[in-house]
Amino acid sequence: MKRFWECRPDYRDYISFNHDYWNNLDAQTAFIVRSLNDYAQSTEDGSIKEMIENKLPVITSFAFVLQKELRSLMDLTTKAMLLDEDDPELDEVQEDHDEKEFVVQQMLHIAQTLDYTDEVGRRQVYNITREAIAKAQLPEECTKLAIEVLRIVCGVRGESDFCALIVEAIAEVRDTLLDGDDEAMGNGDEEESFHSAQSDVDGDAPLIKPRGANGKVLTEEEELERQTREVLVHSKCLHIAQCTLENVHCDLESNSHLKDILNTLIIPAVQAHQANLRERGVICLGLAALLSRDLAESNLDLFFHCFIKGHESLKEIVLQVLADVLITHPQLLTPTVEDPDATTEDAEPIVNPRLRPVTKILLKAFASDSHRLSLIACEAASKLLLLGILPPAPTAEILKAFVSTYFDPETAANPALRQALSYFLPVFCHSKLKNAHIMAQMTVPILSKLLLMREEDVEEDDADEMVGWPVITAHLAEWTDGRKVVGATELGLDGKTSTSAEAEEPHIQLAIAVLERALTSTCTKEERKPLLSLLGKLHISPSSNAMAGRAGGERDGSAEAEALNELHVLVTEAVEARLGTDAVQRNSLAKLHATLTKRLGEVEREVTTLEQGGEGEPSAVLDGLRDAGSAVGSGTRRAGSKEADEDGHVEASVDGTELGNGDDGDEDDDGAGRMDGEADPDPEDTTMFAGMQGEGTRMPLEDDDEEDDEEADAEQDQPHDDEDDDDDDLPEENTLTLRQRRAHLVTEDDIMESLLQSEL
């Protein structure tokens, strides 16, 4: 309808709401008015707002129409109650009642958007809604809307007045429904009824007492009728209290009217034996707990008890209440200090004792056979995890259950749950980098659990129902990819996308965990296969941007170097042990080994640059980088010693360039010697291109470079025999300089080719 009114301005201008229109409202005409009013209120066009103000009646006239429709609804409700179930007129009356109820709902929706600056009209709507709330015959949806209108009419500062009106309305509802002859109860009976709800009811005592208004003992039939009537009383009153608590924001302790509702109505309902009363009582208690942290803290154990002992619908309510309370008061789960008076450093915070029951309730409900209970538990836990309310340990435990259930073939029977997990898992992992770290920590245990589930399915001949390992490992690799985290990548001025230095940490952490598990003796061949398959899908960049990260103070270079060093050692061990079961896995390990070798070679060059030109760099960072750079030499030689002996050459140098055998072997040995800590070449040659930036940076050539280019062009024109003579006459210092230029000036393609030819 919003789109309709937006696209048909001719209808907006043509339609009019005269007196005859309002005097003959039905479901269709009432909906037309409400939809046009909603469209006008949602638009920012002032002319449309002015148009709807001119078409709608003034507040006083609107209040008269609202009162008329409410009276018609009450009459139809009373008439339907007096008819027998087999009366042929009942169906027609019920149909008229439903239509009139819909009309009243549309009128109340319109009343929520009106301007109540007219005091006369505001007072009329105030009295009409206040009287309507006190009517026991008013349907619950109309009651909810009437309470919302009354809250708006009372104004922003009228919460106390609003709560006082609600207390009076609740008392009138009790009197109306408990009076079987439609007469007011006597003073003594009213006082007895009020104080029976005001006192704390014993857990074993029934809320409903089997006595009549005059105190005589009732027969079994009369007792049943009274119980039914009193259940209706408390159910109606609890609904009014629920709608009231949803529309107030004041402190519970400072509002005496809300405290009276809590003590006289809500607490006895929670202790009642009737299921519907207890459910509504728990809902109201949860809403009241949102207004008071002390009340929430004192009733958490009660919510735990209701979940353990309650029926399924009560468990669903408790889960929703717990999620709302913990989101509103996250301090309830903060760690506590063992000795508040302790001032020493030994007084460390301990885990909050409420944390474990909350985690157990969420996991137990999530694993329930009830589809709806599992879905509600998933939604509640998702809110807590996305907001970071739970600590890392419970978060990891819940996350493991979520991922296992997501890949469980039995979840196909609950599509709503699978849809919720499909949304939550990527959003959680890519919202914060620490969430990706938590997923990386739990990936190996998740794979082990999925392997056990697959083995159980094999025994039950259901193995074909679970998705294959390639799909599972692809999901896990994507969820732990730090590049997909919000804020990890940004678009530079040159149009290129840059990634933060911390983005690859989850994959490095996951690769270490995968190899540690795969290299253990207890890891079976069936488990090793998905582990190595996952390892091949992880992204570890062959080039390092750690310098930029450390320059900005964003990461610890020593920690990065240690992680890379540890991963390189594990990969080297895996290559030596021929851990891969097929060619694909062996190639994946070899590729990762080459990537780390090149990466750690860059780390060694960073150490050299920092030692020569880095001022004020922390010694811990230098030590970590130096250790990683020295480890690559031993790790590379240990992994490739057999290949070097058999083939007569080394596959890659520290900087990742190809090294051949023959006359250049001495130069290669010099490069390897520098890797082991021997004397470095001239510092000027080593750091000549250390300040260069990315590929797109073009450095102006010096005069020496131009002379080298001319010499290189002249050498290309000479015969092949002259090249060897010129190469022999080339000084060793220039040879090292040219090799460094070849390693660094990757953007100057033409010059690099000429220098390479002159060197060869």
pLDDT digits (tens, 9 = 90+) for 368-427: 999 999 999 999 999 999 999 999 999 999 999 999 999 998 898 999 999 999 999 999
- pLDDT, one tens digit per residue, over 455-482 is 887 666 655 577 889 999 999 999 999 9
* pLDDT, mean of residues 732-736: 41
Give the CA distances from residue 381 to residues 132, 291, 320, 613, in Å, rounded to whole numbers and listed in that order: 39, 22, 10, 51
What number is the average pLDDT over the span 603-612?
58
Sign, CA dihedral 41-119-100-184, equals positive
State the pLDDT at residue 360.
Answer: 95
Please tell me the total number of residues recorded for the chain in this structure. 760
Residues 227, 276: one domain?
A: yes
CB of 349 within 8 A of CB of 336?
yes
What is the arithmetic mean of pLDDT over 701-710? 44
Is 162 part of any domain? yes
Q: Are residues 150 and 164 in the same domain?
A: no
Query: Residue 753: which pLDDT band, with cuts at 50, 70 and 90?
Result: low
Span 77-85, mean pLDDT? 86
Residues 142 and 7 in one domain: yes
- Sequence-ordered strand ranges (E) for 44-156: none
pLDDT bin (cut points 50, 70, 90) of residue 593 is: confident
Note whether 541 and 601 are within 8 A (CB).
Answer: no
**Domain endpoint, select from 260, 285, 310:** 285
337 DSSP 8-state letter:
E
pLDDT for position 675: 36
Same domain for 231 and 118 = no
105-137 pLDDT per residue, tens: 999 999 999 999 989 999 999 999 999 999 888
Express each pLDDT in 14-43 by its tens digit.
999 999 999 999 999 999 999 999 999 999
Render pLDDT for 353-371 as a digit per residue (tens, 0 to 9).
Answer: 899 999 999 999 999 999 9
Query: Are 220 and 136 found together in one domain?
Result: no
Average pLDDT over residues 54-75: 93
Q: Rounded mean pLDDT of 350-354? A: 86
Whether 298 is in a domain gets the answer: no
pLDDT single digits (tens) 668-703: 444 333 434 334 444 434 433 344 444 333 444 444
- 552-592 residue pLDDT tens: 444 455 677 788 888 889 988 888 888 877 888 888 888 88
For 333, which DSSP code? G
Q: Is residue 74 part of a domain?
A: yes
Of residues 81 and 442, more confidently modeled: 442
What region, left, alpha or beta, does residue 648 occupy, with left being phi > 0 and alpha being psi -120 to 50 degrees? left
Backbone angles phi, psi at 521, to 5 degrees: -75, -20
- Give the whole-number percent of the chain exceeding pLDDT 70: 69
Q: Where are the beta strands (DSSP E) in 188-333?
A: none
Of 237, 270, 285, the one marking the end of a domain is 285
Give yes or no: residues 110 and 140 share one domain: yes
In Å, how far from its chain's centre is CA 581? 38
Q: What is the structure's pLDDT at 189?
A: 43
Q: How confident is the model at residue 448 (pLDDT cuts 50, 70, 90)?
A: very high
Distance (Å, whole) CA 244 – CA 280: 13
The DSSP bridge partners found for residue 491 are: 497
Residue 27 lies in a domain: yes
**Which segment of 60-64, 86-90, 223-227, 692-696 scores lowest on mean pLDDT?**
692-696
pLDDT of res. 406: 94
Same domain, 174 and 267: yes
- Does 196 share its domain with 83? no
Distance CA 4, CA 161 (A): 41
Average pLDDT of every residue of the chain: 77
The region of weakest confidence among 92-96, 262-266, 600-604, 670-674 is 670-674
- Answer whether 454's CB lies under 8 Å from 466's CB: yes
The closest alpha carbon to 597, from 544, 656, 513, 541, belongs to: 656
Q: How many CB atoms lie within 10 A of CB 686?
A: 20
Tally of domains in the chain: 3
Same domain, 164 and 280: yes
Mind spelling out the 3-state secondary structure of 165-206?
HHHHHHHHHHHHHHCCCCCCCCHHHHHHHHHHHHCCCCCCCC
Say whether both 13 and 32 belong to one domain: yes
Q: Does residue 269 contact residue 280 with C-beta atoms inside 8 Å?
A: yes
25 lies in a domain?
yes
Report if residue 714 sits inside a domain.
Answer: yes
**Inside any domain, residue 548:** no
- Residue 496 confidence (pLDDT): 79
Residues 6 or more apart from 41 whose CB is under 8 A from it? 49, 52, 113
For residue 316, pLDDT beyond 70? yes
Are both 83 and 198 inside the same structural domain? no
pLDDT digits (tens, 9 = 90+) for 251-265: 888 889 999 999 999
Q: Which of 65-74, 132-141, 390-399, 706-715 shows the lowest mean pLDDT across its residues?
A: 706-715
Quote the pLDDT of residue 282. Answer: 96
The Cα–Cα gap between 754 and 512 comes to 42
Let me know whether 225 and 281 are in one domain. Answer: yes
pLDDT value at position 215? 52
Residue 22 lies in a domain: yes
Confidence band of 502 (pLDDT split at 50, 70, 90)? confident
pLDDT at 216: 58
The domain of 65 spans 1-155
Residue 507 near residue 440, CB atoms below 8 Å: yes
- Residue 466 has a pLDDT of 79
Q: Which of 347-351, 376-380, 629-633, 753-757 has the highest mean pLDDT?
A: 376-380
**Which residues, listed in sequence order, are joined to residue 489 by a DSSP beta bridge?**
499
Q: What kind and span of H or E run contains 470?
A: helix 469-479
Domain stops at, among 155, 179, 199: 155
The reported pTM is 0.72
pLDDT in tens, 163-172: 999 999 999 9
